[in-house]
């Protein structure tokens, strides 16, 4: 028997504890389950397992090392309460069970191990395709699903073949290969035609899945009315067949389309309804992930940060029962943007780095978005070198990195460079909500350049957009920009009221950094008015927020302001 450290014994006992339960075939605990039982990190569990693999001479090979370790421990009597007659689950059985509890990394490892030893049956091939999709292995997912598609066709099972074809279409959509999407949709439509053409008498959930994929493609390419029509048809199929996944997809795509038409209240009500089903655990992984990603995307696109934060917090609260939620790369990118707003910058940076790594191989758009979020975090933290690195990595992909790059140049003292960068970034932003992302930075840079008239013109543009798309974030943004323009115009009485209003609005949204910046505007206006006490109170409140957030440059500015006041 090998010699074990105390913690290695704990890990081994937790690994094998499920094997003491009744049942003909049982499975060892997962890394997540071991970490939860021992109240340690998953990284620590992985390190102890590596040591145990060495001590039991469990080599990397055709079988899951964790399963092999549990088997060896049982056979050698290394754990109490587990008999040698216990049968440890096979890799296929472990993969099926892991998929059932949505532990997709475990499912992929086990099923890939099984596939390397012997051909999988068609159901397990589909599971392997699902596990590969949800762990970001899209090439492996496509290979497994193509095998399953061929197997269903060979058996004459058109409905199952259509379902897998649509899964291949989803893979292609996520990786932005829209010609491939069209090809698989055509194949699925031909296979489903024997049971009723789409738009005439759909009777299978697969018809609704196809309509959902059509809606996703159309909404993503700006065909809002057509996308809404197919989303409504998908929801109708879901109601006819009683399929809650299809109903949720129909709802979320309708909500997404309505929000982007400016029908905010109607769209958000549908998004909330779909998310309620997703967080309650009523949906399959595809529907759950798509509902979350589209809801988060719609919220961020329309500056609805409060809703994005609330639903993200709800997903996090229910993570132990829901498992991982969302598409690799895609949803991580949106979560990173949420963490930027709510001031959780460490987590935001981790999510952004992970999202960029996941998306780099197949989705340049989300890679750029993730790197842009990372650059914004580093800029807010005051690390200009790291911000520049993130933004330049984003520009390497040929897409503009948002307004953050121009603000980074401004913070570095390069006002002419900032003016050029914001002008390039705004070129071609015809959509009002897209333009609204750049206008606050454009106002700040124009004021830094001493161009008050240009700043006022940008502000008027922003105010018009906020009037067309009413909401607390754009209202707070307009108030803060108004305060900045008034300060530049030496109108301190107006500036202080606008800045107080902006700070209140940002606090209600849950955006502490923006609120603190507006508190500094209050402090500046109060100092201009000769109200030293108010200036000190506001600056101290801002300094406390900056310190909690870790915004180093703002900490320095607030401290210098207070020192100047004496």
Q: Are both 509 and 433 inside the same structural domain? A: no
CA–CA separation, 374 and 412 (whole Å): 18
pLDDT > 60? residue 497? yes
Residue from 206, 230, 205, 210 nearest 219 by CA: 230
What is the share, in percent, of the chain residues with pLDDT greater than 70? Answer: 89
Beta carbons within 10 angstroms of residue 488's beta carbon: 18
User: Is the residue at 282 inside a domain?
Assistant: no
Residue 566 and residue 476 in one domain: yes
pLDDT at 229 over 80: yes
379 inside domain? no
Q: Is 490 inside a domain boundary?
A: yes
In this predicted structure, the answer to whether residue 362 has a pLDDT above a threshold of 50 is: yes
Residue 473 has pLDDT above 50, yes or no: yes
Q: Are 35 and 96 in contact (CB under 8 A)?
A: no
Q: Which of 319-323, 435-439, 534-538, 560-564 has the lowest mean pLDDT?
A: 319-323
Residues linked to residue 26 through DSSP beta bridges, in sequence order: 88
Q: Check residue 89 and give its pLDDT.
A: 62
Q: Tell me, yes or no, whether 390 lies in a domain.
A: no
Report whether pLDDT(277) > 50: yes
- Of the pLDDT bands very low, low, confident and very high (cuts 50, 70, 90), residue 197 is very low
Distance CA(506)–CA(161), nearest Å, equals 51
When mean pLDDT is compared across 8-12, 108-112, 173-177, 372-376, the lowest value belongs to 173-177
Residues ≥6 apart with Cβ < 8 Å to 21: none
**Candidate from 235-244, 330-339, 481-490, 519-528 with smallest mean pLDDT:** 330-339
pLDDT tens-digit series, residues 53-82: 888 888 765 456 888 888 788 777 777 655
Tell me, yes or no, whether 441 and 486 share the same domain: no
For the chain, the helix, strand and coil percentages under 3-state DSSP, each to the nearest 5: 75, 0, 25
Q: State whether 439 and 493 are in the same domain.
A: no
Mean of pLDDT values over 531-549: 96
CA dist 390 and 349 (Å) reads: 11
| Close Cβ partners of 239 (under 8 Å, ≥ 6 residues apart) | 247
CA 535 to chain centroid: 39
Closest to 379 measured CA to CA, from 405, 402, 401: 405
The pLDDT tens digits for 172-192 are: 877 667 788 889 989 998 888
Look at residue 480 in the predicted model and tell me its pLDDT: 96
pLDDT band at 534 (very low <50, low <70, confident <90, very high): very high
Q: What is the mean pLDDT of residues 75-102?
A: 70
What's residue 365's pLDDT?
62
More confident residue, 208 or 89: 208
- Strands (DSSP E) found in 62-111: none
Same domain, 525 and 434: no
pLDDT at 20 over 90: no
Contact 309, 338 (CB under 8 A): yes
The total number of structural domains that make up the chain = 2
Instruction: Kindly tell me if the per-residue pLDDT of 22 is higher than 60.
Output: no
Residue 22 lies inside a defined structural domain of this protein: no
pLDDT at residue 194 in the model: 62
489 and 526: one domain? yes
Query: In CATH, what number is assigned to the domain containing residue 553?
Result: 1.25.40.10
pLDDT-derived band at 280, boundaries 50, 70, 90:
confident
What pLDDT, in 10s, does the model give residues 203-223?
688 889 899 988 988 887 789
Is 472's pLDDT higher than 80? Answer: yes
Cβ–Cβ under 8 Å, residues 203 and 196: yes
Listed range (77-86, 139-148, 420-429, 498-507) with the worst mean pLDDT: 77-86
Q: Does some domain include residue 407? A: yes
Which of 422, 457, 492 is at the close of a domain?
Answer: 457
Within-domain flag for 509: yes
The sign of the torsion formed by the CA atoms of 378, 328, 143, 28 equals positive
Structure tokens at 375: 């650059």
C-alpha dist (Å) from residue 43 to 97, 116, 130, 136, 434: 23, 27, 25, 20, 40
The owner of tokens 């870790």 is 550
The predicted structure's pLDDT at residue 79: 76
DSSP 88: B
Mean pLDDT of 112-117: 85
Please give the pLDDT value at position 268. Answer: 93
**Residue 355, domain member (yes or no):** no
pLDDT value, residue 151: 92
Dihedral sign for Cα 244, 281, 230, 151, please: negative
The answer to whether the beta carbons of residues 370 and 408 sit under 8 Å apart is no
pLDDT given at position 436: 92
For residues 435-439, average pLDDT: 92
pLDDT mean over 348-355: 82
Least confident interval from 124-133, 134-143, 395-404: 395-404
CB atoms within 10 A of CB 359: 26
Residues 437 and 510 placed together within one structural domain of the fold = no
Residues 478 and 526 in one domain: yes
Model pTM? 0.70
Domain match, 480 and 449 both: no
**Of the candidates 201, 211, 254, 205, which has an alpha carbon nearest to the alpha carbon of residue 234?**
211
pLDDT at site 80 = 66
Q: Are residues 436 and 477 in the same domain?
A: no
Confidence grade of residue 84 (pLDDT, cut at 50, 70, 90): very low
Average of pLDDT values for 487-505? 96
Neighbours of 3 (CB within 10 A): 6
Provide the pLDDT for residue 204.
82
Which span out of 178-187, 297-306, 461-470, 518-527 was modeled with the highest average pLDDT?
A: 518-527
Residues 482 and 517 in one domain: yes
Mean pLDDT rounded to a whole number for the chain: 85
Which residue among 413, 430, 457 closes a domain? 457
**pLDDT, average across residues 395-404:** 75
The answer to whether 483 touches 499, Cβ cutoff 8 Å, is: yes
Range of the domain at 497: 471-566
pLDDT band at 128 (very low <50, low <70, confident <90, very high): very high
Does residue 482 share a domain with residue 452?
no
- Average of per-residue pLDDT across 544-564: 95
pLDDT of residue 413: 93
- Residue 120 DSSP one-character state: P
Q: What angle, 0 to 180 degrees and rounded to 10, lies between the N-to-C axes of helices 492-509 and 472-488? A: 160
Ordered DSSP codes for 23-66: SSSB-PPPHHHHHHHHT--HHHHHHHHHHHHHHTT--SSSS-HH
Rounded CA gap, 79 and 82, in Å? 6
Nearest to 192 by CA among 211, 173, 177: 211
Is pLDDT at 421 greater than 80 in this prediction? Answer: yes
């Amino acid at each position: 028997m090998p010699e074990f450290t105390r913690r290695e014994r704990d890990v081994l006992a937790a690994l094998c504890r499920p094997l003491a339960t009744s049942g003909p075939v049982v499975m060892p605990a997962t890394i997540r389950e071991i970490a939860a039982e021992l109240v340690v990190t998953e990284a620590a569990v992985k390190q102890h397992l590596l040591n145990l693999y060495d001590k039991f001479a469990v080599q990397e090979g055709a079988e899951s090392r964790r399963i092999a370790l549990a088997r060896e421990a049982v056979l050698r009597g290394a754990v109490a309460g587990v008999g040698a007659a216990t049968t440890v689950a096979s890799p296929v059985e472990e993969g099926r069970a892991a998929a059932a509890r949505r532990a997709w990394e475990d499912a992929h490892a086990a099923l890939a191990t099984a596939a390397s030893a012997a051909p999988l049956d068609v159901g397990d091939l589909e599971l392997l395709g699902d596990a590969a999709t949800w762990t970001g292995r899209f090439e492996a997912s496509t290979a497994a699903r193509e095998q399953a598609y061929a197997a269903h066709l060979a058996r004459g099972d058109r409905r199952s073949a259509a379902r897998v074809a649509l899964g291949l279409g989803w893979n292609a959509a996520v990786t932005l290969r829209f010609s491939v999407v069209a090809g698989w949709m055509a194949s699925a439509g031909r296979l489903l035609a024997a049971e009723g053409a789409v738009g005439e008498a759909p009777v299978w959930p697969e018809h609704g899945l196809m309509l959902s994929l059509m809606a996703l493609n159309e909404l993503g390419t700006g065909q809002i009315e057509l996308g809404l029509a197919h989303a409504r048809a998908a929801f109708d199929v879901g109601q006819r067949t009683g399929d809650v996944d299809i109903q949720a997809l129909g709802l979320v795509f309708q909500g997404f389309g309505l929000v982007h038409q400016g029908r905010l209240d109607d769209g958000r009500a549908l998004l909330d309804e779909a998310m309620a089903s997703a967080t309650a655990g009523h949906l399959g992984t595809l529907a759950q992930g798509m509902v979350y990603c589209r809801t988060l995307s719609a919220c961020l696109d329309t500056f609805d940060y409060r809703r994005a934060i609330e639903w993200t917090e709800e997903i996090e609260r229910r993570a132990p029962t829901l498992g991982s939620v969302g598409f690799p790369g895609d949803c991580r990118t949106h979560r990173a943007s949420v963490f930027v707003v709510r001031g959780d910058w460490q987590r935001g940076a981790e999510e952004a780095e992970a999202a960029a790594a996941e998306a780099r191989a197949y989705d340049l758009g989300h890679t750029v978005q993730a790197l842009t979020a990372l650059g914004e975090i580093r800029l807010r933290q005051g690390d200009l070198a790291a911000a520049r690195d993130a933004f330049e990595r984003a520009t390497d992909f040929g897409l503009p990195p948002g307004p953050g790059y121009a603000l980074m140049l401004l913070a570095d003292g390069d006002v002419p460079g900032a003016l050029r960068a914001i002008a390039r970034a705004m070129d071609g932003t015809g959509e009002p909500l897209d333009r609204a992302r750049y206008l606050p930075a454009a106002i700040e840079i124009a004021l830094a350049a001493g161009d008050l008239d240009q700043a006022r013109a940008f502000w008027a543009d922003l105010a018009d957009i906020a009037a067309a798309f009413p909401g607390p974030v754009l209202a707070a943004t307009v108030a803060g920009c108004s305060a900045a323009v008034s300060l530049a115009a030496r109108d301190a009485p107006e500036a202080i009221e606008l800045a107080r209003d902006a700070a209140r609005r940002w606090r209600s949204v849950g955006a502490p950094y923006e609120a603190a910046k507006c508190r500094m505007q209050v402090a500046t206006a109060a100092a201009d008015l000769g109200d030293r006490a108010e200036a000190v109170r506001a600056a101290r409140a801002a300094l406390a927020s900056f310190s909690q957030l870790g915004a180093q440059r703002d900490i320095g500015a607030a401290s210098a302001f207070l020192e100047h006041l004496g």
